[in-house]
Amino acid sequence: MALRTENDAPLRYVRRKTILSGIIVIAVLGLTSIFLISEFANGKFGRAYLIGSLLGIVNGVIGFLTIEKFIDKKTLAFLRGVFVGMGVRMALLLGVFIILIETTTIDIAGMVTGLLIFYFTMTILEVIFLNKRINAKSAAKESLQ
């Protein structure tokens, strides 16, 4: 276990701020979705939308954890970890998606809609987080010099 230093503070701040921002974005998007679905869609669509949304959120959380795990590695190891992680996540999503379609009477349109909305939202948050994390890491490295 590495010792924490003052230079870790910006990285912890970025992590905390990103987690808080993600929670806020998911909450606002979730509440908006609940309102729109309750007004304009039936219960079957709503349940499927919720399942798709949860799949998108879980996928995004795993993406954040992957970035955190590999961010301090060398560039090639980082890229390999992130891209292999993306492939594994996509395969798992596809597997769960196929299992749900084949074994349940889930509304496919609702699940796809929820999955796509939250998948792309979480992907955007991942890219923003990665950019801020790299900038904070560079700033911490420069302050050591």
In a domain, 145, yes or no: no
Range of the domain at 55: 9-139
Mean pLDDT computed over 38-52: 86
Number of domains in the chain: 1
Q: Given pLDDT bands bounded at 50, 70 and 90, which one contains residue 15?
A: confident
In a domain, 57, yes or no: yes
Q: What contacts 77, CB < 8 A, 6 or more positions away?
A: 70
Q: Given pLDDT bands bounded at 50, 70 and 90, which one contains residue 37?
A: confident
Amino acid 131: pLDDT: 85
Question: Per the confidence metrics, is the pTM higher than 0.85?
Answer: no
Cα–Cα distance for residue pair 134/42, rounded to 1 Å: 44
Question: Does the pLDDT at position 73 exceed 90?
Answer: no
In a domain, 1, yes or no: no
In a domain, 144, yes or no: no
Cα–Cα distance for residue pair 66/130, rounded to 1 Å: 11
- Decide if 11 contacts 136 (C-beta within 8 A): yes
